[in-house]
Amino acid sequence: MRRLGILTGGGDCPGLNAVIRAVAKSAFYRHDIEIVGFNNGFKGLVENEAWLIGEEDVSGILHRGGTILGTTNRDNPFHYRVTGPDGNPSYEDRSADALRHLNEWDLDGLIVIGGDGSLTLALRFSKIGVPVIGIPKTIDNDLSATDVTFGFDTAAATATEAIDRLHTTAESHHRIMVLEVMGRNAGWIALQAGMAGGGDIILIPELPFDYEVIIEKIMQRRARGKKFSIVVAAEGVFPEGGSQVYQLAGGTKRLGGIGQVVAAELEKRTGMESRATVLGHLQRGGTPTVFDRVLATRFGAAAVELARAGRWNEMVCLQGGMIKSVSLADAVAQIKRIDPGCEQVQAALAVGTSFGRKL
């Protein structure tokens, strides 16, 4: 094996640079393999924006957020957006260009670091003959084949710190403070940070909530002398019988805004002053935690070993504390969501946390 390609796709995430470093260093030092980086996810394959990564490029990046390769969560080569002379977009299949560029770079295989969307594209490329290895990345932690994705621990730590800080104002002003966190249709960040930060009410998309149950909890707390409450709401939550809240930006619908809706409704129904904070992309930025740096390094080194062993079209994963691998097809077969009966939810319930509905 002489040369591997690498790209980072989808939203950025703490630990991406740590993975790139691990792939490159283990390829260079252990196996004398060259690494070609494609810029900006799959767009780099289509546009042939690629470069030979040197040892100095991956030095000093272990702790840095973001990705030295750039990324995008658009630009699907099979449905590629092209802007016409009139400024209107149209879509073309540019996968043949991507294949040509991969061949021109004379690669033995391609390492794709991504979440559900990017790994689904990786699977599609594997089906047209590209040898691919996947590495699971996302702050959402919603990939079912791995116990955890890298980036999640950092995002949850950032959200936990936010809850700690919100406690100050909540307590001083006797307010309801609602923190909206990311996670798409999975509530992992809300659950993890909500538990770590001692959130009184945790709202997750897996358990549509009932305002009356939230209010009952807030009132119980008041009766015990706790004149404030912290609500941690995943961006994808919705009330029973209701729907998710989206923002429209540039013609694209994005999840977001439920925190404000919940805060306004709680203020109206309880008479208590309420505020919402949307943590947003702060969860994706900054230095990765110790856990994410180590996991990213283990994933990166393992991906190179998989490629060396010819175990193409697999994704590295963490299962029971061990680095293993699964087929890409299994990796993207279904999203991992919280089982409301799971031990973690039970532990939260045991310490008096409410999930905003009768359980």
Catalytic residues: 140
Q: What is the DSSP letter of 122?
A: H
Q: Which of 94, 137, 175, 284 binds ligand F6P (CB under 6 A)?
A: 284
Shortest Cβ distance from residue 248 to ligand F6P (Å)?
A: 12
Q: Give the footprint of ligand F6P on residues 61-100 (CB under 6 A).
A: 73
Cα separation, 234 vs 228, whole angstroms: 20
Contact 118, 9 (CB under 8 A): yes
User: 116-127 and 95-104 are packed helices; what angle lies between their axes, rounded to 10 degrees?
Assistant: 80
- Greatest pairwise CA separation for the chain in angstroms: 70
Q: Taking the mean position of all CA atoms in its chain, how far away is CA 240?
A: 25
Determine the size of the site formed for ligand F6P (CB under 6 A). 13
Per-residue binder mask for ligand F6P (CB under 6 A), 10-29, x = binder = -x------------------
Q: Give the footprint of ligand F6P on residues 173-232 (CB under 6 A).
A: 182-184
Shortest Cβ distance from residue 60 to ligand F6P (Å)?
A: 26
End-to-end Cα separation, the chain, in angstroms: 55
Per-residue binder mask for ligand F6P (CB under 6 A), 225-264, x = binder = ----------x------------------xx---------
Cα separation, 300 vs 25, whole angstroms: 9
For residue 248, CA distances in Å to 91, 253, 318 come to 21, 5, 36
Binding to ligand F6P by residue 137, rule CB under 6 A? Answer: no
User: 290-308 and 16-31 are packed helices; what angle lies between their axes, rounded to 10 degrees?
Assistant: 40
Q: Which of 138, 297, 313, 353 binds ligand F6P (CB under 6 A)?
A: 138
Q: Which residue is nearest to ligand F6P (CB)?
A: 182
Shortest Cβ distance from residue 358 to ligand F6P (Å)?
A: 28
Shortest Cβ distance from residue 295 to ligand F6P (Å)?
A: 17
Sheet holding 3-8, edge to edge: 50-52, 34-38, 3-8, 109-114, 132-136, 314-319, 322-327
Shortest Cβ distance from residue 255 to ligand F6P (Å)?
A: 5
Q: Which is nearer to ligand F6P, 5 or 183 (CB)?
A: 183
Chain contacts with ligand F6P (rule: CB under 6 A): 11, 73, 115, 138-140, 182-184, 235, 254-255, 284
